[in-house]
């Protein structure tokens, strides 16, 4: 097992974020993390990235518990930071260099990889941000920032990609590009999204966090869209009114486009 959480519970300032979460992810799996606003998706991804320790329970990477001792162990820490990366929900939280070029070469330089500049250029090309090379990331559009942030983690050529709503700011063409791109990458992914219609393209297994911050479902994505009762319980169905000329009616929506 590459990633494992054992009865993980966490609060933020007394605010419940996760309750008793057991999750096992094998090498090469593609897991889609679903759940309503505040259900705990970002908290779970940050715990998997070792950014903090859970209040209760434990997180393991490749058999090693992610505790203070592991992350304080120079060799393990370096390996973990290279192999496991998190694309934050807010790309701004990841971009703090004066140019895209420096943004992309920072990670490789910090991890003392060979030819940081060449790696940066190569990944800028592959992720379609080469034309932004000299621009300050703070000036970019939200979608451009999201792509640059993605390039800045991919440049490490990780084994595990933790993606927090990676398509949230992308236009339809960029979303299509990202889905295709991820399908071709030989990595393990855990992707949080609100986009139910995209979920089957992002993985074959769904983990749904409920509003009580527990795992409501861990199973196949196939058929999920038909399980309206479950989706309603997870608050993943939206209901709103339609107007058709003078007529108005209301019904549940699962697809993002209807």
Q: How far is CA 178 from the centre of its chain?
A: 13
Q: Is 39 in the site for Mg ion (CB under 5 A)?
A: no
**Residue 182, both tokens:** 């991820």
Q: How far is CA 28 from CA 83, 96, 189, 229, in A?
A: 13, 31, 8, 30
Q: How far apart are CA 197 and CA 110, in angstroms?
A: 38
Q: Is 42 in the site for Mg ion (CB under 5 A)?
A: yes
What's phi and psi for 218, nearest 5 deg?
Answer: -135, 100
Contact of residue 38 among Mg ion, ligand ATP, none (CB under 5-8 Å per partner type) = ligand ATP
Which residue's CB is nearer to ligand ATP, number 156 or number 163? Answer: 163
Q: How far apart are CA 249 and CA 241, in angstroms?
A: 6
For residue 214, give every residue at least 6 positions away whose Cβ sits within 8 Å of its Cβ, in sequence order, or none. Answer: 19, 20, 21
Binding string, residues 86-125; x marks residues near Mg ion by CB under 5 A: ---x------------------------------------
Contact of residue 5 among Mg ion, ligand ATP, none (CB under 5-8 Å per partner type) = none
- By CB under 5 A, the residues from 61 to 90 that bind Mg ion are 89
Which residue's CB is nearer to Mg ion, number 126 or number 238? Answer: 238
Residues that bind ligand ATP (CB under 6 A): 12-13, 15, 17, 35, 37-43, 89
Binding site for Mg ion (CB under 5 A): 41-42, 89
């Amino acid at each position: 097992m590459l990633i494992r959480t054992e009865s993980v519970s966490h609060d933020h300032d007394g605010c419940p974020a996760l309750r008793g979460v057991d999750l096992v992810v094998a090498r090469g799996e593609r897991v889609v993390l679903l759940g309503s606003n505040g259900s705990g998706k970002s908290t779970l991804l940050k715990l998997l990235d070792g950014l903090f320790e859970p209040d209760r329970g434990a997180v393991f990477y490749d058999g090693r518990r992610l505790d203070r001792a592991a992350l304080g162990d120079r060799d393990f820490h370096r390996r973990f930071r290279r192999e496991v990366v998190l694309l934050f929900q807010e790309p701004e939280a990841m971009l703090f260099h004066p140019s895209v070029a420096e943004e992309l070469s920072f990670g490789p330089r910090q991890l003392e990889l060979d030819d940081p500049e060449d790696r940066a250029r190569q990944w800028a090309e592959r992720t379609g941000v080469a034309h932004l090379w000299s621009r300050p990331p703070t000036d970019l559009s939200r979608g451009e920032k999201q792509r640059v942030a993605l390039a800045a983690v991919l440049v490490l050529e990780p084994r595990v990609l933790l993606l927090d709503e990676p398509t949230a700011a992308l236009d339809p063409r960029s979303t299509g590009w990202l889905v295709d791109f991820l399908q071709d990458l030989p990595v393990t992914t855990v992707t949080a999204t609100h986009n139910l219609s995209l979920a089957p393209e992002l993985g074959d297994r769904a983990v749904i966090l409920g509003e009580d911050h527990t795992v409501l479902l861990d199973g196949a994505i196939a058929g999920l869209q038909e399980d309206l009762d479950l989706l309603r319980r997870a608050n993943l169905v939206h209901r709103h009114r339609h107007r058709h000329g003078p007529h108005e009616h209301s019904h549940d929506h699962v697809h993002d486009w209807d």
